[in-house]
Amino acid sequence: MSGHSKWANIKHRKGAQDAKRGKIFTKIIKEITVATRMGGGDIDANPRLRKAVSNGKSNNLPIDNITRAIKKGTGELEGVSYEEVTYEGYGPGGVAIMMDIITDNKNRTVAEVRHLLSKYGGNLGENGSVSWVFDTKGQIILDSNTGEEDVVFEAALEAGADDFEANDGFYTITTEPTVLMDVRDSLENDGYEIRSAEIEMVPKTLQKLEGKEAQSALKLMDELEDNDDINKLYSNFDVDENTIIQD
């Protein structure tokens, strides 16, 4: 699939690791709370909430946690007041980086992000500085053991998907954002187990990194991913398969 960066592959693989489970839960709970606050607690009437709850269930987030997050979003339970913001910047080799933030302290978060980018030779940019590098797409992730590649490919196309890629033990199905959940529901009804269904920023073109720059980019992205305030993280870098990845 054109524009599918190496980081996109890596983060989906890392997302399956039990060591990251707590951070996955934290980010999903934040997303559920904010989605509820923005669009209400009715899952059927709030597409963003429906998507967040669906991803929570796919990642085995306990239903009690989902319910509490919704109640915090509606105000039925006391909760933290979160703010959403998008940061854009550059990493090693000038690669583009976009970060969707959900935070209760924007000053703290921007300082942490600026520090990490600087640590690896990057810097924050202004709004619009790198967003043009990306297209907004729906992306559905399935584990490859959920079905044969050819069969899943046909099912995805029949459901309305635009693109399909098999890589690193999972399938990535790309859709227009407006039909993301319809395609997801169709695949689930066909018996496929969905790992996630998200609106993503997919790079139009890739920037190849090698050697120390590749290693620095991977380390930077890993540290940014570990920041609880960074809800989603995108980049357009690509590296060789034999680049050593420090998990």
Give the residue numbers spanning the domain of 52.
6-74
Residue-wise pLDDT for 134-146, tens only, equals 999 999 999 888 8
Of 137, 166, 168, 159, the closest CA to residue 241 belongs to: 168
Q: Is 60 exceeded by the pLDDT of residue 12?
A: no
Q: Is 50 exceeded by the pLDDT of residue 245?
A: no
Question: How far is residue 130 from each of residues 8, 138, 199, measured CA to CA in Å?
Answer: 17, 19, 18
pLDDT for the residue 20: 57
Of 47, 74, 101, the domain-final residue: 74
Q: Is 50 exceeded by the pLDDT of residue 1?
A: no
Q: How confident is the model at residue 167 (pLDDT cuts 50, 70, 90)?
A: confident
Q: Is 60 exceeded by the pLDDT of residue 13?
A: no
| Residue 139: CATH number of its domain | 3.30.70.980
Counting the structural domains of the chain, the total is 2
Query: Do residues 194 and 54 lie in contact, with contact meaning Cβ atoms separated by under 8 Å?
Result: yes
The reported pTM is: 0.84
| Residue 61: CATH number of its domain | 1.10.10.200
Q: How confident is the model at residue 14 (pLDDT cuts 50, 70, 90)?
A: low
